[in-house]
Chain A
Amino acid sequence: AQSVAQPEDQVNVAEGNPLTVKCTYSVSGNPYLFWYVQYPNRGLQFLLKYITGDNLVKGSYGFEAEFNKSQTSFHLKKPSALVSDSALYFCAVRDKAGGGNKLTFGTGTQLKVEL
């Protein structure tokens, strides 16, 4: 079975400061990893994905994530946060060997960026 843990329900950061949203995963094989963002009353929007290759993945809106196989982590980062980044962030995993494109999501981390 595959699973994702997002240990922080909420992350607060000042605008202009770097931000990190944490994610750890568990799969039986090699993972595909994703980050999605959800704004109020909206569906999920894709930010970035790790499939293979470079452990540092760059995505939309200046976000990036680092895949660490030994720590089974895929933390989301941004060098300089904006107030408009305030939203609910979900990490998700898919087992490469599982077939299909079913995603298993974490419980989400609410990011609040303050002036």
Chain B
Amino acid sequence: DAGVTQSPTHLIKTRGQQVTLRCSPKSGHDTVSWYQQALGQGPQFIFQYYEEEERQRGNFPDRFSGHQFPNYSSELNVNALLLGDSALYLCASSPTKGANEKLFFGSGTQLSVL
């Protein structure tokens, strides 16, 4: 049983460009969340998707957007990249959106913005 898979593993972009990161949740999971982990910091919540809709959002600008597909996979899009967007982007899934659920994390996409 595959866990949470993310692609690509590494990505290099330049300022102003746009990027799309992809995530496939663990089998049986229908809720996907995205986190940004800057170097030396803890992960910061970006948003959560459930039933193909954004359900919760953290303190991130509108340049960060997402999508969830009928098969529960998800994309994170970032427009107009800034140097400060360089980070490890983690996708997490859970079997429901319940507050007592633990999250299963992928290995992340390392984004470097030059």
Q: Which chain A residues have a beta carbon within 8 Å of chain B's beta carbons?
A: 4, 32, 34, 36, 41-46, 49, 51, 90, 92, 94-96, 98-108
Contacts and interface: CB of A to CB of B under 8 A. Distances in A.
A36 B44 CA distance: 14
B99 A41 contact: no
Contact of B99 (A43, A90, A96, A107): A96
Given A42-B107, A43-B105, 20 more contacts: A34-B102, A42-B108, A43-B4, A43-B108, A46-B103, A49-B100, A94-B99, A96-B99, A98-B99, A100-B48, A100-B97, A100-B99, A101-B33, A101-B94, A101-B97, A102-B56, A102-B58, A103-B45, A107-B41, A108-B40
B98 interface: yes
B68 interface: no
The main secondary structure of chain B at its interface with chain A is loop
B90 A101 contact: no
Q: For this complex, into which size category does the number of interface residues on chain B fall?
A: 20 to 34
A105 B44 contact: yes
Contact of A101 (B4, B58, B99, B108): B99
Given A90-B42, A100-B48, A102-B33, A46 B107 contact: no
Nearest to A95: B99
Nearest to B96: A101
Contact of A99 (B43, B99, B101, B107): B99
A94 B58 CA distance: 13
Contact of A107 (B42, B92, B106, B108): B42
Contacts of B56: 99-100, 102
B55 A103 contact: no
A37 to B, nearest CB: 11
Interface in B30-54: 31, 33, 40-45, 48
B8 to A, nearest CB: 14
Contacts of B55: 100
Nearest to A43: B105
B105 A101 contact: no
Contacts of A95: 99
Given A43-B4, A96-B99, A101 B42 contact: no
